[in-house]
Structure 1
Amino acid sequence: MTELGLLLIAALAILPIVSLDTRASALPWYYGGDDGNTIYVAVGESIQDAIDAAGDGWTVELAPGEFPVVGPYGLSIYGKSITLLGATVYGYGEPASRIRFSYGANTEVANSERSIFRNLDLISSFGGYGAYGSYGSYGGPTLQLAGGAPLLENCVITNLDAGNSALTGAVFFTSGSSYGELTMIDTVIQVDELIGLRIVNNYGGALLDTCLIAGTGSGYGYGYGYGNGYAISAYGIPVTLLDTIVCGKNGPYGSQIEAVVIDLGGNCEALDCADCNPNPCPADLNQDDVVNGEDLSILLADWGCLGIECIGDINEDGLVNGADLTVILSTWGPCN
């Protein structure tokens, strides 16, 4: 059998796998309940009740779907370390559990040694009541973290309207005089009219590994931060960046980063996000923002092509072959 025939068999064998969206609904955690140190929360059930019932070091695991949290109060983790764990889109790894905050609701964590947020899509759509309890004055952050060494991994945080957020930010981290470090891995912060990440009264700072902070711009505030649009505001505090993109500032003044930056390499800071990732999805041959069977068809039609003009030469080695097919199969699904 030819090389192309073998590769086609391999490709067809995995297509039913990568095309699945989420895990089967027969899993018991769709119905709530608990299992040892994990409390499962079904759509429609209370996340806060699960947090309150969990012990120190426990996991609260959310089913796929959307969980609305309406203000002025939101979610609170106090005095214990909790892992708030979402589901992922099967085959893609993207968060499949969304918590939608509205009317000033957010998540507040205090006196927690190590709170973990993993595989979560967190979206705030209205500032309203904020971190300082004054309706219409201060927009609250999506995550307010006080103390400890919190971890955010594989999360998407979207804050669409945080009002007077020059004082907060989508993620607000403070630890008093402690050296606790905020760690963010494979996490995206998308914001409008506020700071992306703000750190105050903290010596530990933050580590951002393979993160994206985009679309910052504060149009509010009394003096501090007015219109600055900081992606990261951590004056005098160390922030370590690795393979991280900071871009899309829409505020009229200032820079995008206000911090003591420790650059570990692979980072990009630019006003236009396209300048940091000019070809974010090379296997998307027809440029419809998804790698699927249409792109595979284009590749196969171009199989064996030699030269720099070959559309199917994804890895740009001058030949359309199995190496290009591997790129398509390994990036199958929506472009990030």
Structure 2
Amino acid sequence: MMLAFQGDDTKRLRKRRRGNAMHVTTRFVALSVQFYLLFSCNFQPAGAFSLTEWLGFGSSDPLSGVLDSSPATLTIMEISEMRVRDIKRRLSRHHGYGADELARMLDKKELINALSFEEHKARQKEAEDRRRFAIRRSITVALIVVIITTFWGLFAHVFEVAHVNFVVYTDKKKYEISRCWELRSKKGYLGVFLMFVVDMLSLWLTTSVILSWVMRSKYFFPVPHIPIRPAALLATTTGGAAGGGPLSHYGVNVGPMAVTWTLRFVHGRLEGWTGRALSNAQKWQRKKEKADAKKNETPEEKEARRAARAARKAETAARKAAAEAEEEARYAEWDRMRARAQPAEKGSNPSATQSG
């Protein structure tokens, strides 16, 4: 008993160590990714969001393509060197100043101060937009890293299952195409191609249904809208007004289910038709091979084939005669045993004979 308990404890310890090892491995991978991302940043006050620059895909500006439409801001030195006409033009075009507001500014210093103030506000707004965009992308990157490190086992399992299904499907299609090539069946080729088209439509439908939960696209499968509303069913059973109640705006769309059932039905029909076509092609090929063999055989081979056929017939007849003789001998033995048993039964029951 002590040995049994020790064996159970050893198994538990092994499982616990294995679980601890997996947990430690997961934590090590997560910490490695976090340290890599941390040390890939520049330790500068203004470079706190260099992680987002690392994800800029070759762009040093994290907002490249976002703020390209806005004009570049000017410094106080550049504004001082501008002419009054250019300052007024920039204030009216880029900052929305009207003609009456510009007319009230008689001195160039007022124009310079106004343009400097507007450029400063534009520069601050641009910096705030960059900071907000960088924070948003940093949070997104952190969430992606956490999700990957947390659900890595699930992702690996899903990938393995998808890989196995893909390999099985490709091997099946290769075997079907090879059989069509061996049997020279055009109908088989057509059936395999149509089944492939139906499989791709099913995959397109499944992907569209899954992605439709989180996004919209014009490239999704055109699924018919066939809603089934529980409110209508409840109204008919309870006798209430149709379309009323809290469930009046909810329904179940059975369009994808109907399309899926139709595609499966068509795939089954195509598979049966392709199988019959290949079977007929195989029968025709065998008949052709037999006809070619008969046409090309020599007289000696023909006599040998006839002699082999006669020998097979004679062997079959002898086997049948032996089976019939054995059966007749068995029946004769049963008759003798029955005849022996009848006098013994009569002698063992004398009262029945006396009363008779």
Q: TM-score range by the shorter chain?
A: under 0.3
> Going by fraction, where is strand more abundant, 1 or 2?
1
Normalising by structure 1, what TM-score?
Answer: 0.20
> Going by fraction, where is helix more abundant, 1 or 2?
2
Normalising by structure 2, what TM-score?
Answer: 0.19
Highest CA radius of gyration, 1 or 2? Answer: 2
